[in-house]
Chains A and B, each alone.
Chain A
Amino acid sequence: MKIKWLRIDSRLIHGQVANNWVNHVGAGTIIAANDSAAKDDLRKTLLLQVAPGRTKSYVMSIDKTARCYKNPSYDNLEVLLVVENPTDVLRLIDAGVEVTQVNVGGITFKEGMTLISEAVSVSPEDVEAFKELDKRGVKLTLQQLPNTGASDFMNRLKSKKLI
């Protein structure tokens, strides 16, 4: 499996935004890797409903995503992989998925989180996971849409005095 783009977006598959990224990175397949969505029949069905029509789309657990990643029959498959948070990126890496860069796209604000940009908030747990990803040499870039500016995510955490 060739991961053309790995994006953190807590909305997972999300209408036109998914469409824009698929066009931009040229992937024919979207995988939303998320344990709770993969276990929830209705949520899974509704996520697949809004996936761009011309792509193949899947909602799978982190473990199953890693198993499919290693299946040689998908060696040439070009995938846009979407996860909910940085902890799930670490789990994918620990399960054997090679990750060199991550697009931090959208994490919805909840109580106890710090707002980093218009579209991204982080919890203390997220900050720890981002630090670990950075330590492992993963390049983290903050970018909401294909044609909005990209900036270094760790610098952003620094400027917000979170690290």
Chain B
Amino acid sequence: MVAIVIATHGNLSEALIGTAKMIFGNMENVAQVTFKPGEGIENLLDKYQTASGQFDDEPILFLVDLFGGSPYNAASRFVARQENMDIVTGVNLPMFVEVLGKRLAGGTLEELVQTAKLAGADGIKSFKEIFSHQKIANSAKEDEGDELG
């Protein structure tokens, strides 16, 4: 099973994992890394080392908050020489939950990376945009007969 490290500025990673449990339920092989004021890249590298040490040689997917931020920059140094690790930026709840689902279904690291990119973007919608294209139900008519609809 691919291991997942959620790494963010502040406590977002911890909260994101707690929130995802409400929607997905229990999860294994997920670690959180926080980056606090006053810390530097070296602290993050230590934290990544510790986090990855909990996993047995499994591939690791890092989901980090900001492209170019310290959690990303440290992860990129950590991952650059590793075949079986990757990083996806812009972590959000739709991304994380979809990745967990894909992983449960046996997804490989490469597949999880694609799922993360798609789901992270696809979870962003405008109600008005969808609603303006939606056909409004006509319940009186639709509840007749024995055909689905």
Contacts and interface: CB of A to CB of B under 8 A. Distances in A.
Interface of A: 15-17, 19-20, 23, 29, 31, 38-42, 44-45, 48-49, 56, 58-61, 63-64, 67-68, 70-71, 73-74, 144-148
A64 B146 contact: yes
A54 B69 CA distance: 35
24 contacts: A15-B23, A19-B101, A20-B23, A20-B101, A23-B101, A29-B148, A38-B143, A39-B140, A41-B136, A41-B138, A44-B137, A44-B139, A45-B135, A45-B136, A49-B130, A56-B148, A59-B137, A60-B142, A60-B143, A67-B145, A68-B147, A147-B26, A148-B25, A148-B26
Interface of B: 23-27, 94, 97, 101, 104-105, 130-131, 134-140, 142-149
A36 B140 CA distance: 12
Nearest to B127: A49
Given A44-B139, A49-B131, A68-B146, A145 B24 contact: yes
Contacts of B137: 41-42, 44-45, 48, 59
Given A41-B138, A44-B139, A58 B149 contact: yes
B143 A64 contact: yes
Contact of B24 (A20, A31, A56, A71): A20
A61 B143 CA distance: 7
A31 B149 CA distance: 10
Contacts of B146: 64, 67-68, 70-71
A17 B101 CA distance: 11
Contacts of B134: 45, 48-49
Nearest to A79: B148
A74 B24 contact: no
Given A41-B137, A45-B137, A147-B26, A16 B148 contact: no
A75 B63 CA distance: 44
A45 B148 CA distance: 15
Contacts of A41: 136-139
B143 A39 contact: yes
A56 B142 CA distance: 16
